[in-house]
């Protein structure tokens, strides 16, 4: 086939224009995606470090409250103590010694009897409610309580209160404004971010004073220096946590290098394909190339689907000789290869580990990342480590070489089949639902979640615990259940999920429970396309009955 020169020139110009447009669009899309992913990781880093700062500040202020409590017997022996109004000046002296702004003593009836501020004397904590009412439980229990830094209901300026119980009834209360919090807790937060990184080892978190003096930096040699704006070469944000300015920084250079490689590779391949198609054989070659690409993509997707299909258990009941527990799980991908997975396995004669997880992406990369996460969690859990240590080490391993910035949310539980005790770790996943056999109620198992797996290394994970009764059920799921939309965009949501689980008769039949929830979700969708993978895992503890189970 011969093409005349004017037509060839026009075709070449059209191809060149299309190439430049695609290059510009690709560059713009990668730029926006890089910025979005960086800020998402920054937000998750803030959530994690906020808990650590709050815990450190609370410990420091509760320590001051305990020092004040220990001085109460000596203060009561002073003549001035018998006159609450006259004792104000004395308590003001003690407050200055402890470097706090407010000191109060509350008796067993909840009445504020002594204070460093005469206006507070006579307050009734049992009836006043609001911010003060949160301390009422200290009247009936020997414990401590710390509030967050918040505007004071009377003065309006931010203040943080902590309370500690008193022997013989009542409690003492200590209050600190922002400046006092920073002075007292500065040593507690110093070095807090030495081992905390954002998006690999290049990103970092910095804590400063109100004037910008650095109190915690991954590089200890920079501490006591002054914070400086990292400039346009970094993605960064600031948040104030317990009175301390906190900065999270992700340098752009790593993301920019990756973006240039992707855009350059795309540009080269697009130019080669367009020029060859236009100059040599035109639409025939282009059509053939597209067919080949589709065939290769289909082959890769089929292979990844086989990997995923073979990676998760599909035979139920999985342990037919084990009568103490019933299990059922299902997964319905939204695409050929989903990002969800579940697993369950024994780590001892009476210990069953079960989990549900959701990878942040879809397709072949998500399937491979899923396989790596699943293998790590199982191997580490079966190695004898505690559940929290196994999750922490799996997170560290997933962070290594994670250039695509993928992450996994997961809820992992360990059930003691002999007594029904459950230990669990939540790595940024949806809370499961507990169905109570005693009264048929259903409630979410809310606990403070840890950071998702694969986002930041060196993160500790907390272990939660519950005790199940015979016949109780734990229902685990991914957000493809609660975030399924109807034709008008309304989500299925957590309330409908609870209503579905309480509709009846599922405590004895885990498979019926999962099937009923899917039926409710399909009815809500009313023909709307499935928006995400739908994965469920139902665990029913039957009680400590005698059973025979295959050897682990």
> What CATH number corresponds to the domain at position 53?
3.30.450.20
Total domain count, the chain: 3
Predicted confidence at residue 234, as pLDDT, reads 86
> Out of 179-193, 210-224, 272-286, 379-393, which region has the weakest mean confidence (pLDDT)?
272-286
Q: Is residue 278 part of a domain?
A: no
409 vs 270, which has greater pLDDT? 409
Q: Is residue 285 part of a domain?
A: no
Confidence of residue 412 (pLDDT cuts 50, 70, 90): very high
Kindly state the average pLDDT of the residues 387-392: 96
Predicted confidence at residue 86, as pLDDT, reads 85
Predicted confidence at residue 531, as pLDDT, reads 81
- Do 491 and 376 share a structural domain? yes
From residue 346, give the alpha-carbon distance in Å to each of 313, 378, 382, 552: 13, 10, 8, 6
Residue 483 has pLDDT above 60, yes or no: yes
Apex 215 CA angle, 212 and 216, nearest 5: 120
What CATH code is carried by the domain that includes residue 386?
Answer: 3.60.40.10
The secondary element (H helix, E strand) that includes residue 262 is helix 252-276
From residue 148, give the alpha-carbon distance in Å to each of 84, 213, 419, 428: 28, 23, 37, 22
112 alpha-carbon distance from chain centroid: 40
Confidence of residue 548 (pLDDT cuts 50, 70, 90): very low
Residue 15 has pLDDT above 80, yes or no: no
Confidence of residue 277 (pLDDT cuts 50, 70, 90): low
Residues of the chain with pLDDT > 70, as a percent, come to: 85
Q: Is residue 293 part of a domain?
A: no
Residue 254 has pLDDT above 60, yes or no: no
Confidence of residue 283 (pLDDT cuts 50, 70, 90): low
CB 331 within 8 A of CB 312: yes
Where does a domain end: 252, 277, 302? Answer: 252
Predicted confidence at residue 274, as pLDDT, reads 63
Predicted confidence at residue 255, as pLDDT, reads 57
Confidence of residue 211 (pLDDT cuts 50, 70, 90): confident
List the structure tokens of 259.
Answer: 């973006």
- Do 509 and 374 share a structural domain? yes
- Do 191 and 177 share a structural domain? no
Distance CA 83, CA 113 (A): 10
445 vs 193, which has greater pLDDT? 445
Highest mean pLDDT among 39-53, 103-117, 178-192: 103-117
Confidence of residue 49 (pLDDT cuts 50, 70, 90): confident
What are the phi and psi torsion angles at 122 (to 5°)? 100, -10
- Do 230 and 101 share a structural domain? no
Distance CA 357, CA 347 (A): 19
- Do 99 and 115 share a structural domain? yes
From residue 444, give the alpha-carbon distance in Å to each of 170, 342, 432, 474, 502: 34, 19, 6, 10, 12
DSSP designation for 485: B
Q: Is residue 551 part of a domain?
A: no
Distance CA 224, CA 221 (A): 8
Averaged confidence pLDDT in the chain = 85
- Do 494 and 347 share a structural domain? yes
Residue 178 has pLDDT above 80, yes or no: yes
This prediction's pTM: 0.49
Residue 396 has pLDDT above 90, yes or no: yes
- Do 148 and 54 share a structural domain? yes
Q: Is residue 362 part of a domain?
A: yes
309 vs 182, which has greater pLDDT? 182
Residue 241 has pLDDT above 60, yes or no: yes
Confidence of residue 286 (pLDDT cuts 50, 70, 90): low
- Do 208 and 89 share a structural domain? no
Distance CA 196, CA 218 (A): 7
- Do 355 and 501 share a structural domain? yes
- Do 371 and 318 share a structural domain? yes
266 vs 191, which has greater pLDDT? 191
Residue 310 has pLDDT above 80, yes or no: no
Q: Is residue 1 part of a domain?
A: yes
Q: Is residue 83 part of a domain?
A: yes
Distance CA 201, CA 82 (A): 60
Where does a domain end: 252, 286, 301? Answer: 252
Predicted confidence at residue 549, as pLDDT, reads 44
Q: How many helices, marked H, and strands, marked E, lie in the chain?
A: 12, 21
**Distance separating the N- and C-terminal Cα atoms of the chain:** 69
Predicted confidence at residue 394, as pLDDT, reads 96
Q: Which of 231, 243, 429 is nearest to 341 (CA)?
A: 429
Residues in Cβ contact with 265 at an 8 Å cutoff, skipping those fewer than 6 apart: none
- Do 448 and 460 share a structural domain? yes
Q: Which of 43, 362, 56 is nearest to 189 (CA)?
A: 56
CB 223 within 8 A of CB 190: yes
Residues of the chain with pLDDT > 90, as a percent, come to: 45
Residue 113 has pLDDT above 70, yes or no: yes
What are the phi and psi torsion angles at 521 (to 5°)? -65, -45
HSE-up (13 A, CA, CB side) for residue 318: 21
Q: Which structural domain range is residue 201 located in?
A: 187-252
> Out of 74-88, 306-320, 337-351, which region has the weakest mean confidence (pLDDT)?
306-320
Predicted confidence at residue 3, as pLDDT, reads 53
Query: Which single residue is written with the structure tokens 């020029």?
Result: 275
**For the segment 360-376, what is each residue's pLDDT rounded down to a tens digit?**
877 778 888 888 999 99
CB 453 within 8 A of CB 407: yes
- Do 104 and 248 share a structural domain? no
Q: Is residue 286 part of a domain?
A: no
The secondary element (H helix, E strand) that includes residue 174 is strand 171-177
Instruction: Quickly list DSSP for 198-257.
Output: ETTTTEEEEEE-TT-BEEE-SSGGGTTSB-----TTEEEEEEEETTEEEEEEEEHHHHHH
């Amino acid at each position: 086939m011969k093409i005349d020169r004017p037509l060839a020139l026009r075709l070449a110009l059209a191809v060149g224009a299309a190439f430049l447009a695609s290059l510009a669009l690709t560059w713009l899309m990668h730029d926006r995606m890089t910025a979005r992913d960086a800020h998402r990781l920054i937000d998750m880093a803030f959530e994690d470090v906020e808990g650590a700062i709050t815990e450190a500040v609370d410990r420091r202020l509760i320590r001051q409250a305990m020092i004040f409590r220990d001085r109460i017997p000596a203060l009561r022996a002073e003549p001035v103590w018998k006159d609450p109004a006259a004792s104000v000046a004395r308590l003001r002296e003690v407050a200055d010694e402890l470097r706090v702004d407010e000191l109060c003593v509350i008796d067993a009836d909840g009445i504020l009897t002594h204070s460093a501020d005469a206006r507070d004397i006579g307050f009734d904590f049992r009836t006043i409610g609001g911010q003060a009412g949160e301390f009422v439980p200290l009247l009936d229990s020997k414990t401590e309580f710390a509030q967050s830094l918040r505007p004071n209901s009377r003065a309006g300026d931010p203040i943080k209160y902590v309370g500690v119980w008193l022997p013989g009834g009542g409690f003492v209360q200590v209050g600190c404004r922002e400046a006092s919090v920073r002075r007292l807790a500065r040593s507690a937060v110093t070095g807090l971010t030495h081992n905390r990184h954002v998006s690999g080892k290049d990103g970092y978190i910095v804590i400063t004073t109100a004037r910008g003096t650095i109190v915690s930096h991954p590089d200890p040699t920079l501490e006591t220096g002054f914070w400086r704006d990292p400039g346009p070469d970094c993605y960064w944000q600031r948040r104030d946590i317990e009175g301390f300015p906190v900065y999270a920084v992700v340098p752009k250079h790593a993301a920019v290098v990756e973006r240039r490689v992707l855009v350059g590779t795309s540009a080269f391949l697009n130019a080669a394909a367009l020029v060859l198609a236009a100059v040599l054989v035109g639409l025939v070659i282009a059509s053939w190339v597209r067919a080949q690409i589709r065939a290769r993509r289909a082959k890769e997707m089929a292979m990844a689907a086989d990997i995923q299909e073979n990676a998760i258990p599909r035979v139920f009941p999985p342990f037919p000789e084990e009568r103490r527990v019933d299990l059922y799980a299902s997964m319905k991908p939204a695409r050929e290869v989903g990002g969800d997975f579940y697993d369950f396995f024994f780590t001892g004669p009476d210990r069953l580990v079960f989990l549900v997880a959701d990878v942040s992406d879809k397709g072949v990369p998500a399937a491979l990342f899923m396989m790596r996460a699943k293998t790590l969690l199982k191997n580490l859990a079966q190695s004898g480590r505690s559940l929290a240590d196994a999750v922490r080490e799996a997170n560290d391993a997933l962070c290594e070489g994670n250039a695509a910035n993928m992450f996994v949310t997961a809820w992992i539980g360990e059930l003691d089949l002999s007594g029904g005790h459950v230990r669990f770790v939540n790595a940024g996943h949806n809370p499961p639902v507990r169905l109570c056999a005693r009264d048929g109620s259903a409630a979410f198992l809310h606990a403070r979640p840890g950071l998702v797996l694969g986002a930041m290394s060196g993160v500790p994970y907390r272990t939660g615990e519950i005790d199940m009764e015979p016949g109780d059920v734990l229902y685990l799921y991914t957000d493809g259940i609660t975030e399924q939309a109807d034709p008008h965009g309304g989500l299925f949501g957590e309330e409908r999920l609870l209503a579905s689980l309480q509709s009846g008769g599922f405590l004895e039949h885990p498979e019926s429970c999962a099937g009923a929830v899917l039926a409710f979700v399909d009815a809500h969708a009313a023909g709307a396309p499935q928006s995400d993978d739908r994965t469920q895992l139902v665990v029913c503890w039957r009680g400590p009955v005698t059973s025979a189970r295959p050897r682990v």
